[in-house]
């Protein structure tokens, strides 16, 4: 075999190995994404069915409904579980960062209205039961709102990872600390890796989680990124320098 052929063969094997590694990484990321979606779905199902069941009991008390047959009740609860699960999975996929409140509200209203309008479409006497159906629609929106805030809390606590953030490269952020923050960490500068799409607020939350005594400075701390004062919801870029400045009296 010639040296030229040997080199080409080695290159081909190397190229194939790289492709195999990339494919394996992609498969691992997909599996992790599915796991996080299932976690969001399970949380959504649990946090939806609890308030939904309470509303069913409330209807029995306020409107003196006849008891629901066990089979019908089981079917209603099963549909509620599926609704909560689907909302949890979908909500995680459509929410890319915690700053877009309009998108979050839209997801809640979309699911709530769709679920609430079904009885309206199926009712043979719409006008006679419009008030009752409207109440059911509002209750549906409230149930999905509870799911939303539950998932938001889980995302904030990093119990569930946001969609795509786990598969994107980390950001290396330099944190420059002053006054109370410098006292808490014992140094004036640290370097940390954060997921893509991280905001200044998310970094601050991480610092407070690590040092709860910094909680009292949350509302009065000023933020700077690359020598410019910024708002807490700004998205950070790789290599940014973030400054946290509490009042001087905190130092």
In b/e form, how buried is each residue of 52-75, taking b as 16+ CB within 10 angstroms?
beeebeebeeeeeeeeeeeeeeee
Tell me if 235 is assigned to some domain. Answer: yes
222-225: strand order across its sheet: 189-194, 171-177, 241-245, 222-225, 228-230
pLDDT at 164 over 70: no
- Check whether residue 34 and residue 137 sit in a common domain: yes
Mean pLDDT of 100-108: 85
> What pLDDT shows up at residue 22?
40
Whole-angstrom CA distances from 62 to 52, 55, 65, 136, 176 are 15, 10, 8, 13, 58
Residue that finishes a domain, picked among 104, 129, 156: 156
In b/e form, how buried is each residue of 15-30, taking b as 16+ CB within 10 angstroms?
eeeeeeeeeeeeeeee
> 98 falls in which pLDDT band (50, 70, 90)?
low
- Give yes or no for a contact between 98 and 152, defined as CB atoms under 8 angstroms apart: yes
> What pLDDT shows up at residue 39?
94
Length in residues, the chain: 251
pLDDT at 66 over 80: no
Mean pLDDT of 134-149: 90
Mean pLDDT of 85-91: 94
Residue labelled with tokens 């690590």? 210
How many structural domains does the chain have? 2
Is the pTM here over 0.85, yes or no?
no
Average pLDDT of the chain is 79
Please state, for a pLDDT cut of 90, what percent of the chain lies above it. Answer: 21
Residue 7 has which token pair?
């080199």
pLDDT digits (tens, 9 = 90+) for 21-36: 444 544 555 788 889 8
- 29 contact partners, CB below 8 Å, separation of at least 6: 166, 167
pLDDT at 107 over 70: yes
Residue that finishes a domain, picked among 102, 126, 156: 156
Any idea what the CATH number is for the domain that residue 236 is in? 3.10.20.30
> What pLDDT shows up at residue 123?
60
Residue 86 belongs to domain spanning: 3-156
- Check whether residue 113 and residue 37 sit in a common domain: yes
pLDDT at 91 over 90: yes
Whole-angstrom CA distances from 83 to 36, 90, 117, 161, 210 are 18, 11, 14, 21, 36
Tell me if 162 is assigned to some domain. Answer: no
16 or 112, which is more confident? 112
- Check whether residue 19 and residue 115 sit in a common domain: yes
**What are residue 63's DSSP bridge partners?**
none
- Check whether residue 117 and residue 9 sit in a common domain: yes
Tell me if 28 is assigned to some domain. Answer: yes
Residue that finishes a domain, picked among 156, 190, 223: 156
Mean pLDDT of 194-206: 84
- Check whether residue 148 and residue 179 sit in a common domain: no
> What pLDDT shows up at residue 127?
58
Closest-CA residue to 203 (of 98, 50, 123): 98
- Check whether residue 17 and residue 132 sit in a common domain: yes
118 or 186, which is more confident? 186
Residue 81 has which token pair?
């579980």
- Check whether residue 11 and residue 128 sit in a common domain: yes
Mean pLDDT of 39-59: 92
**What are residue 224's DSSP bridge partners?**
229, 243
> What pLDDT shows up at residue 192?
85
Tell me if 234 is assigned to some domain. Answer: yes
- Check whether residue 133 and residue 186 sit in a common domain: no
- Give yes or no for a contact between 171 and 64, defined as CB atoms under 8 angstroms apart: no
- Check whether residue 131 and residue 78 sit in a common domain: yes
Please state, for a pLDDT cut of 70, what percent of the chain lies above it. Answer: 75
- 132 contact partners, CB below 8 Å, separation of at least 6: 63
């Amino acid at each position: 075999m010639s040296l030229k052929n040997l080199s080409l063969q080695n290159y081909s094997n190397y190229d194939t190995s790289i492709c195999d590694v990339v494919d394996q990484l992609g498969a691992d990321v997909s599996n992790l994404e599915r796991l996080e979606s299932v976690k969001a779905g399970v949380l959504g199902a649990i946090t939806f069915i609890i308030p939904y069941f309470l509303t069913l009991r409330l209807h029995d008390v306020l409107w003196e409904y006849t008891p629901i047959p066990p089979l019908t009740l089981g079917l209603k609860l099963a549909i509620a579980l599926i609704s909560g699960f689907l909302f949890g999975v979908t909500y995680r996929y459509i929410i890319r960062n915690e700053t877009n409140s309009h998108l979050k509200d839209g997801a809640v209203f979309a699911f709530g209205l769709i679920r609430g309008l079904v009885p309206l479409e199926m009712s043979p006497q719409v006008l006679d039961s419009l008030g009752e159906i409207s109440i059911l629609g509002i209750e549906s929106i409230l149930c999905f709102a509870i799911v939303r805030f539950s998932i938001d809390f889980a995302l904030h606590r990093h119990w569930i990872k946001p969609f795509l953030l786990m598969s994107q490269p980390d950001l290396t952020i330099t944190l420059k600390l002053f006054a109370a923050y410098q006292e808490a960490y014992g140094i004036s500068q640290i370097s940390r890796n954060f997921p893509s799409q991280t905001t200044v607020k998310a970094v601050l939350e991480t610092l407070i989680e690590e040092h709860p005594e910094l909680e009292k400075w949350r509302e009065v701390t000023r933020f700077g990124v690359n020598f410019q004062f910024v708002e807490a919801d700004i998205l950070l870029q790789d290599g940014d320098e973030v400054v946290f400045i509490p009042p001087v009296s905190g130092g």
